[in-house]
Amino acid sequence: MKTLRHPQLDDPLQRALLREIESGLPLVARPYAEIGRRLGMSEAEVISRMRRLLASGVLKRLGIVVRHRKLGYLANAMVVWDVPDDQVDRIGRLLGRMPCVTLSYRRPRRLPDWPYNLFTMIHGQDREAVRAHVERLVRDFGLQDIPHEILFSRRSFRQRGARYFSLVSDNERNRDQTGRIR
């Protein structure tokens, strides 16, 4: 495997931080303080290092992975909309603010087969709950004239956060921040 070199990864503490966050942030009131405790640095230093990783592009974003099925939301659907181009940004922002919408993004149409340019993910306890959410969105935002389709998921794939070890050489995978083999 080819190792990717990045200036932010020359620092052993940056690599240790990446290893630490790879499995997710700890579910505590102050996750950065907890990570700092584990790595021997302050909460402020962890936050500063995370900001540098984001600014340099090593980290693309911080987000949350929600396992909807474990929370009782057994139905999910991608709702695709054929919104006029001059309205898609506005409507996408409106829908994206709704609690039932977990994702809202614009994609190019693939004419003639695929006329849809706005995609929204909606989760519900069952398919009827998802349909009710869509009906409410159509009614509340006056989208009756906007063609759309509800595409229910047929299977669920494992969700996980990003993996960073491809950015760190193989011989460092099992080393702690001091360089000792774990």
Q: Which two tokens stand for residue 108?
A: 């190019």
Q: Which pLDDT does position 181 carry in this prediction?
A: 47
- Rounded Cα–Cα distance for residues 6 and 46 (Å): 19
- Residues 6 or more apart in contact with residue 16 via CB below 8 angstroms: 39, 176, 177
Q: Are 27 and 77 in contact (CB under 8 A)?
A: no
**At 150, which helix (H) or strand (E)?**
strand 148-152
Share of the chain above pLDDT 90, in %: 55
**Per-residue pLDDT tens for 56-113?**
888 887 877 666 667 767 789 999 999 999 999 999 999 999 999 999 999 999 999 9
Average pLDDT over residues 118-139: 96
Q: Which pLDDT does position 62 carry in this prediction?
A: 81
| Bridge partners (DSSP) listed for residue 22 | none
Q: Which pLDDT does position 164 carry in this prediction?
A: 60
| Structural domains of the chain, with CATH | 7-64+160-172 (no CATH), 68-152 (3.30.70.3460)
Q: Assess whether pLDDT exceeds 70 at residue 42.
A: yes
Q: Which pLDDT does position 93 carry in this prediction?
A: 97
Local structure of residue 2 (DSSP, 8 states): P
Q: Which pLDDT does position 61 carry in this prediction?
A: 79
Whole-prediction pTM value? 0.58
